[in-house]
Amino acid sequence: MTSSATSLGRVLAAVMIVATLYHAGRLLTSRTRHRHSEFDVDLTNAAMGIGMAIMLVGSLTPSAGRRWAILFAIPTLWFIWRSLDSYLIDGTRAVGRPLRQALTCAAMLYMFLATARMASTASPMSDMHSASTAVAGMEVSTGPEFGRAVTALLLAAMVGVAVWTCTLLGRGHGAAVCTSNTASAPGATVTCELAMSITTVYMLVLML
């Protein structure tokens, strides 16, 4: 990995930490000030920020990677269900937000599984020592062509999510992004989601 890529990874990790703090703050203020908050979205995005920061600049053992993957399997299934439920109740106009969340969670799930696999092959002692499986490790081949095809498919989906989210902000809809329960997402929330989408794209590109 080049030094420029390392520097970019650190910058993106810092942005992810800021995003995590923002969503954690939304969770806290929604309770203390009785404000409406999308608990599932904020909790998932806070976890995503931590997870991506770890993969970008941290170290991860195979067992830890598998635990993170299991953790993200839960919101992936949850937001898939929310997408279907939103479609059945309000039609296609309500599917956007939960679908973007589902795709991002699926990408996180895949990246943690791939990272765990790379860590397990990096060294026979990888379960006893932290393997360096951050972005540098992602540059290692993911193995079979099937793995590359899945990576490319998720990459295309996340590019679409990033463009979709950017379009919403560009049209001025960041202040009120409709969901299935007609709640709205502040512009800062959508901006954090855009940053997460771009970071996910960056990480998936390095896995190809």
pLDDT tens figures, 103-151: 999 999 999 988 877 766 654 444 333 444 444 445 444 455 777 889 9
> Given a cut of 80, is residue 32 above it in pLDDT?
no
CA trace torsion 117, 68, 41, 76 (10° rounding):
50
- Model confidence band, residue 94 (pLDDT cutoffs 50, 70, 90): confident
Enter the tokens of residue 34. 């009785």
CB 155 within 8 A of CB 142: no
CA distance 84 to 61: 35
56 Cβ partners below 8 Å, 6+ apart? 9, 10, 12, 13, 16, 134, 135, 199, 203
22 Cβ partners below 8 Å, 6+ apart? 188, 189, 192
pTM for the complete prediction? 0.79
Report the sign of the C-alpha dihedral through residues 187, 193, 197, 199, in that order: positive
| pLDDT in the model for residue 81 | 96
For the chain, how many structural domains are there in total? Answer: 1
Full residue range of the structural domain in which residue 157 is found: 3-207
Burial class of residue 7 (count of CB atoms within 10 Å of its CB; 0-12, 13-18, 19+) = exposed
